[in-house]
Amino acid sequence: MDVHTIMRIVLLGAPGSGKGTQAQRLIDRYGVPQISTGDLLRAAVAAGTPLGLQAKSIMDAGKLVDDATMLGIIRERLAQPDAAKGFILDGFPRTLPQADALGALLVELGQPLEAVVLMAVDSQQLFRRLTGRRTCKTCGKVFNVYTAPPPSPPPCAGRCEVPELFQRPDDSEATIGKRLEVYEAQTRPLVEYYSARGLLAEVDAEGDIDAVTARLEAALNARTGR
C-alpha cells in the first residue's frame, strides 16, 4: 500500500457523520494519528482529572467545552512526536475562534492544513446513527445496532477479555437534539470559512462505510495532488 508520510487534515461534520469511523481507517492508509478531541475529553472524564470533572456535565448536556480549554488540549497534543508526520483532526476545530487559533498554531509549527473534508449526511440519518451507536468498553471499537450491528460475540472477543458494549451518555435522544443544534449554530460556519480559504472538499458520507472511505480517499488525493 502506498503510504504517505505527511497528511494534515480536518474531518468536519455533524455528530454521527462518521468522522471517527473514517479516521480510524485513514490511520492505516496514511500512517498518521487520529486526534479526536472528543476521545481526549472522554479519557479525561474516565481518569477523573480536573479537566474531566469540568468537561463531563458540558458534554452530557450536548454543549461545547470552552475554546481556551480546547486550544490548550490541541496545542499539547500536536506537540507530541507522532503528530510531526501529520494528523487527522476529528472534532476540532468546531467554532470560528478555534479555527482561527488552529490556523495560527499551525503557522507557528510550520505545518499548514492540506485539506478539510466535510462529511455530508442527512440529519434524520444522523439521529439514527447516534441512537444506535454502541462502543466496546475495552478496545473502543464502535458498532451500530442499526447500521453496523456487532456480531455475538463481538469481533474484539479474544482481544478484549470481557467485551462489553455501552452507549455514550451524550447519545440520548434529548442530548442528540442539542448537539445537532450546536453543530448548526457554531460549527456549520466553518464550511464557509474553509471554503473561502480553498481548503474544503465535500464527501457524500451516506451509504456503505467502505464506499464512503473510497470517496474520502479520492477527495483527499485530489486535493493534495497525490
In the list 70, 78, 118, 203, the residue contacting ligand AP5 (rule: CB under 6 A) is 70
Among the listed ranges 45-53, 59-67, 75-83, 149-157, the one in contact with ligand AP5 (CB under 6 A) is 59-67
Task: Give the C-alpha separation, 12 to 201, whole Å.
Answer: 10
The residue annotated as part of the active site, out of 19, 42, 77, 134, is 19
Residue 164 beta carbon to ligand AP5: minimum distance, rounded to whole angstroms = 16
Give burial (CB, 10 Å; 0-12/13-18/19+) of 207.
exposed
Residue 128 among the catalytic residues: no
Residue 133 among the catalytic residues: yes
- The 11-30 site mask, x for binding ligand AP5 (CB under 6 A), equals --x-xxxxxxx---------
Strand 142-144 versus strand 133-136 pairing type: antiparallel
120 interacts with ligand AP5 by CB under 6 A = no
Task: Give the C-alpha separation, 193 to 200, whole Å.
Answer: 9
Residues 78-97 that bind ligand AP5 (CB under 6 A): 91-92, 94
Residue 111 beta carbon to ligand AP5: minimum distance, rounded to whole angstroms = 18
In the list 96, 109, 148, 156, the residue contacting ligand AP5 (rule: CB under 6 A) is 148
Task: Give the C-alpha separation, 100 to 189, whole Å.
Answer: 12
The residue annotated as part of the active site, out of 168, 178, 188, 223, is 168
Residue recorded with cell 492508509: 29
For residues 22, 206, 15, 142, the Cα torsion angle rounded to the nearest 10 degrees is -50
If one counts every other C-beta atom within 10 angstroms of the C-beta of residue 134, the result is 20
Residue 7 beta carbon to ligand AP5: minimum distance, rounded to whole angstroms = 18
Residue 197 among the catalytic residues: no
8 interacts with ligand AP5 by CB under 6 A = no
Question: CA geometry: angle at 18 spanning 176 and 51, to 5°?
Answer: 60
Question: Residue count at the site for ligand AP5 (CB under 6 A)?
Answer: 35
Residue type, 66: D
In the list 10, 45, 64, 118, the residue contacting ligand AP5 (rule: CB under 6 A) is 64
For residues 28, 83, 59, 98, the Cα torsion angle rounded to the nearest 10 degrees is -120
The residue annotated as part of the active site, out of 42, 94, 134, 215, is 94
Task: Give the C-alpha separation, 130 to 134, whole Å.
Answer: 9
Which residues form the interface with ligand AP5 (CB under 6 A)?
13, 15-21, 37-38, 41, 58-59, 62-65, 70, 91-92, 94, 98, 129, 132-133, 142-144, 147-148, 170, 179, 207, 209, 212
